[in-house]
Chains A and B, each alone.
Chain A
Amino acid sequence: MSQHLMILPILVPLIGALVLLLPTRAGDPAQRRLSVGLCVAQLLVGGWLFAQAAGGELIFYALGNWQAPFGIVLMLDRLSALMLLLTAVLALGCVMFACAGDDTRGSHFHGLFQLQLVGLNGAFLTGDLFNLFVFFEILLLASYALLMHGGGKERVGAGLHYVILNLAGSALFLVALGVLYGATGTLNMADMARRLGAMTGDQTALVTAGALLLVVVFSLKAALLPLYFWLPRTYSAAPAPVAALFAIMTKVGLYAILRVQSLIFVDTPAAEAITTWLWWSGLATIALAGIGVLAARDLRPLIAYLVLVSVGTLLAGKSLGSTEAVTALLYYLPHTTLVCGALYLIAELIGQQRGKAGTRLVRARRLHQRQLLGGLFLVSAVAVAGLPPLAGALGKLLMMQAAEGVARLWFWPLLLLAGLCALIALSRAGSVFFWASYKGEVAAGRVSRAQLAGVLWLLATAPLLVGFSGPLSSYTLATAEQLADPATKITRLFGEEAMPATSLALGREEETP
């Protein structure tokens, strides 16, 4: 029985979504309770799987009991368990926040939200490249609808760009999969890795092309430099709980890059090219996003650029390549995701109480609950800028330590300057919101309890991540070591003798002389 628990992160939100899509009146309390309950259930399952994976055991689940290279397998290792738990934590905060009224502005918020979670959880669990594409499509489809939740000019305009860009990205994804399948004859990640080992000549060039195409697609999702221009507008237009959930969408791209590079394209010529590209575009992303943070004239784009800074930091850190670097970035990832999510929610609360001025960085009327909001804003600003005593500082420190030699020369100044930019921009925003806006009547609208609960849930993780930084960093170290050892996954899935490439039933070796 317990081996089937692994598929629950996909099944629970899927079945829940179907129930939630049944027509009810808007803001039905039963629907809200069910939605929160589903998120709690996913949190529990996520925690359980996290505990399972922490022991270092690799768990495979063959769907429909079709064995590995022929059927689709789900794979749970430390990395996927970490991402699943992170998704569940973030989703619970967003849903609690949305229950305060954001869910009634359009139809089917909760159902779509759960469908998005299906896509996210599936993408983190799957061990098959085409299945990864399918889960990407599920999460994108749900995100298209969620982005336009509530409608309005701004959202539809941003949504159109987002949809068209992602459709083009999906086409590219399929081309990459076609190239890889044509060259290797398999779509299972571990099987592909095994076959790449025995590959020579022309096929290698094809695989390199396919691998680089894949990385382009994942960089689009992760919003890396030449491909990030969609992000600020899209995230600023999205409703607050959705924007907060989107904080993990860029990390899906990062996860996919990490997964394919550490499992499939380990010692191929593609790996080197990927690392070089990611390094420079990661650095350039940090630099440009840092400028964007300073230039933003509204709090929402400002946070979007902060998301981009974290993307650049994580990907540049990833291409440092060492185990320490991966440890550091996996330590930094939960912190930055949750804090960016919390910031979006806080921005919404601030906007609510400022009337027409919204979140624009201009003087407006006095906030109703300036102590409360100011306090929340202060904590999240400290966290996102990476100041001690919160986990952002530790994560950045670990990552800076992991950079060696010439890499240090580029990485340290950019990372520190981006932190400074964030600090300046956020203090300016905070001064305008809480000190310079002191006149006028107080607008109606207090922070509701559900909204506060959502924000506090996300913000509470920041001190927790510091408190448990010892166990967490040993976990991420173990994760990095597990990622650096793809051979175990292959032997675990296919048995000991499988390591040298064996031709399986429809082997292409026979077809192509």
Chain B
Amino acid sequence: MEALFSLVIGVLTASGIYLLLRGRTFPVIVGLALLSYAVNLFLFSTGGLNTHAAAVIGDSITPADPLPQALVLTAIVIGFAMTAFVVILAIRARSELGSDHVDGQQGEAGDSR
């Protein structure tokens, strides 16, 4: 499970960073979303990966650490709000700058399409 879990986080992070470096606002936002998913999964795993472990003492023999779950919840809420904000911002930038390129204009030839 650990290997699968870390592979998932790794792939999500890599795709997120790749998209983050693109030239258009839409891929950048998708990249940020993927990155935040990867981060949330990572945070979730910091309490240790257990199965059949509830975060309630007495419910199972080895209770799971409840704190990472609280942290992930906070991070998800903040990430959600930020994604909404940056989507609106990108639309606004598209209308103000007349292009959805992150620099507000088409770059050199061979730039990301």
Residues in chain A near residue B74, CB distance under 8 A: 130, 134
Could you tell me the distance in whole angstroms from the C-beta of B95 to the nearest C-beta in chain A? Answer: 9
**C-alpha gap A152/B96 in the complex (Å):** 7
Output the nearest chain A residue to B83 by Cβ-Cβ distance: A167
| Contacting pair B35 A163 (CB below 8 A) | no
Given contacts A137-B78, A157-B93, contact A171 B86 (CB under 8 A): no
| Contacting pair B96 A161 (CB below 8 A) | no
Given contacts A156-B97, A157-B97, A163-B86, contact A178 B43 (CB under 8 A): yes
| Contacting pair A181 B20 (CB below 8 A) | no
Residues in chain A near residue B102, CB distance under 8 A: 160-161, 164
**C-alpha gap A156/B67 in the complex (Å):** 38
Given contacts A171-B36, A511-B48, contact A181 B93 (CB under 8 A): no
Q: Which of B65-89 touch A at CB < 8 Å? A: 65, 67-68, 71, 74-75, 78, 81-82, 85-86, 89
Cβ contacts B11-44/A at 8 Å (1 or 0 each): 0000000001000010010001001101110110
Q: Tell me if A127 is interfacial: C-beta within 8 Å of chain B.
A: no
Contact pick for A164, options B28, B42, B78, CB 8 Å: B28
| Contacting pair A159 B89 (CB below 8 A) | yes
Q: Which of A485-513 touch B at CB < 8 Å? A: 506, 511-512
Given contacts A144-B85, A506-B65, contact A168 B20 (CB under 8 A): yes
Contact pick for A153, options B28, B63, B81, B97, CB 8 Å: B97
| Contacting pair B89 A181 (CB below 8 A) | no
Residues in chain B near residue A181, CB distance under 8 A: 46, 67-68, 71
Cβ contacts A140-168/B at 8 Å (1 or 0 each): 01001000100111001101110110011
| Contacting pair A160 B93 (CB below 8 A) | yes
Residues in chain B near residue A211, CB distance under 8 A: none
Most buried by B among A151, A161, A178, A511: A178
Contact pick for B32, options A157, A164, A174, A175, CB 8 Å: A164
Contact pick for A167, options B32, B40, B48, B75, CB 8 Å: B32
Q: Tell me if A480 is interfacial: C-beta within 8 Å of chain B.
A: no
Output the nearest chain B residue to A168 by Cβ-Cβ distance: B20
Residues in chain B near residue A153, CB distance under 8 A: 96-97, 104
Output the nearest chain A residue to B78 by Cβ-Cβ distance: A137
Q: Tell me if A177 is interfacial: C-beta within 8 Å of chain B.
A: yes
| Contacting pair A168 B32 (CB below 8 A) | yes
| Contacting pair A167 B86 (CB below 8 A) | yes
Residues in chain B near residue A167, CB distance under 8 A: 32, 36, 82, 86
Q: Tell me if A321 is interfacial: C-beta within 8 Å of chain B.
A: no
A-side residues, CB < 8 A to B, are: 130, 134, 137, 141, 144, 148, 151-153, 156-157, 159-161, 163-164, 167-168, 170-171, 174-175, 177-179, 181-182, 187, 506, 511-512
**Top 6 closest A-B pairs, CB basis?**
A182-B46, A178-B46, A178-B43, A156-B96, A174-B39, A157-B104
